Amino acid sequence: MNLRQRVENEFRNRFGRSPEIIVRAPGRVNLLGAHVDYNEGWVLPAATEQAVWLAAAAVDNGVVTIRAIDFDGAEATFSLEDLPPRDNAGPVSWSDYPRGVAWVLRNAGCSVSAIDVVFAGDVPIGAGVSSSAAVEVAFLTTWNAMGRLGLNALQLAQLGQQTENQYIGLASGIMDQFASVHAAENQLVLLDCRTLQHELIPFPSQTAILVADSGVRRELANSEYNVRRSQCDEAVALLRPHLPHIRTLRDVSLDDFELNAHHLPMLLRRRAQHVIQECNRVLNGAELLKRGDLTGFGRLMRQSHMSSRDLYEVSIPELDLLASTAWEVEGCYGARLTGAGFGGCVVILSEACAMDRLAEKLHDAYRAVHSRSPRIFHTRAANGARVMAS
């Protein structure tokens, strides 16, 4: 039974009627552009085949009732008449994401429908492939369609980001939600995170995308993520007297950085160097893909991982092991951590014929060190969020 069937059947069993709407919202895997979205740089993600599926129908009692199959059928309810801000002192719950979406929509002046919902997904949770953004976009797409709100794709992505920033308390950029909304099959999304202009870059369908999940989970809101963002802001403040035109690290050229890096303490110098070089890697990588140069693109992925490890310090030994193992396998173009780091996944590009060999090498190397196997799954560049039935 596929996920769509599961959520439809569970909806009928729980609520005794058929859903009025079925929505699919994908996760995302970012091939280049680590921690540059909140620096208003460029990123190069794709939506994944793995997605969140949601079934919903309207009710007239002013209450949202949600059953989450992935959390052992746990349920949450909340009244649309009583939507206070989240208490940031407590841990983030799965139900905070749909509640946060409703809160953001209401604050934006949108009418939010009372609904019954069942949802489930095969996007690994807390693994750096945007399970939270997939949930946010699924609920945004649902409320947009059911309430005939008329929100366009960019507005949906921005509201998803506001959910993370204003309700969850994570100072993230817009990449995850933007990719989940705007992506297209066999295309990568080259996104300018300042202008929010994007270009779809053709991705060879015969090239395999593997995701190796370390099994190490992290709560980004309670991790070093927000610290990294503040360090970037501090670096900009120290560089601006010497480079008055800059607004974020995106505006610092490689030459300008070389001439002015001495104004930064060593820690901030490393952080800024990563972001500035990573912005250039994304733009160069997009051009390489347009020319079909997967070998060159893979080389940039490897550089990105090493920079994330050594300069930005967001990798962990488990991710380093997966990436370095993949680099040595014949037929692998490149591998790097994907997402914010501190745990989660490595994304790998390879020839299709190398997938089985890669998976075997990754399992063996990881098991030898950590006495467990990574979860490895194949994905492809997929379409963004859609109403599948209504």
Read off the pTM: 0.92
Q: What is the dihedral of CA 46, 308, 353, 385, to 10 degrees?
A: -10
- Distant-in-sequence, close-in-space partners of 262: CB < 8 Å, separation ≥ 6: none
> For 355-364, which contacts have Cβ atoms below 8 Å and span 24 or more sequence positions?
355/208, 355/210, 357/329, 357/330, 357/331, 358/210, 358/326, 358/329, 358/331, 358/332, 359/210, 361/325, 361/326, 361/328, 361/329, 362/212, 362/322, 362/325, 362/326
- Please tell me whether residues 21 and 47 are part of one structural domain: yes
- Please tell me whether residues 371 and 320 are part of one structural domain: yes
- Please tell me whether residues 36 and 52 are part of one structural domain: yes
**Mean pLDDT, contiguous 10-residue spans, the chain (390 residues):** 93 97 95 94 94 96 95 93 83 92 96 96 69 94 97 97 92 89 96 96 91 81 78 98 98 98 98 98 97 97 98 96 98 93 92 94 97 92 92
Domain count, the chain: 2
Q: For residue range 301-345, what is the model confidence (pLDDT) as tens digits? A: 999 999 999 999 999 999 999 999 999 999 999 999 988 888 889
- Please tell me whether residues 358 and 273 are part of one structural domain: yes
Which of the residues 96, 116, 176, 251 is marked catalytic? 176
Q: Give me the CATH number covering residue 292.
A: 3.30.70.890
What per-residue confidence (pLDDT) applies to 123?
A: 80
- Please tell me whether residues 332 and 188 are part of one structural domain: no
- Please tell me whether residues 71 and 103 are part of one structural domain: yes
Q: For residue range 48-81, what is the model confidence (pLDDT) as tens digits? A: 999 999 999 999 999 999 999 988 889 999 999 9
- Please tell me whether residues 228 and 342 are part of one structural domain: yes
Q: Domain span at residue 215?
A: 207-379
- Please tell me whether residues 194 and 212 are part of one structural domain: no
- Please tell me whether residues 278 and 254 are part of one structural domain: yes
Q: Give me the CATH number covering residue 179.
A: 3.30.230.10
- Please tell me whether residues 125 and 224 are part of one structural domain: no
Which pairing describes strands 115-121 and 63-68: parallel, antiparallel, or unpaired?
parallel
What per-residue confidence (pLDDT) applies to 221?
A: 44
- Please tell me whether residues 78 and 36 are part of one structural domain: yes
Residue 176 a catalytic site member? yes
- Please tell me whether residues 285 and 184 are part of one structural domain: no
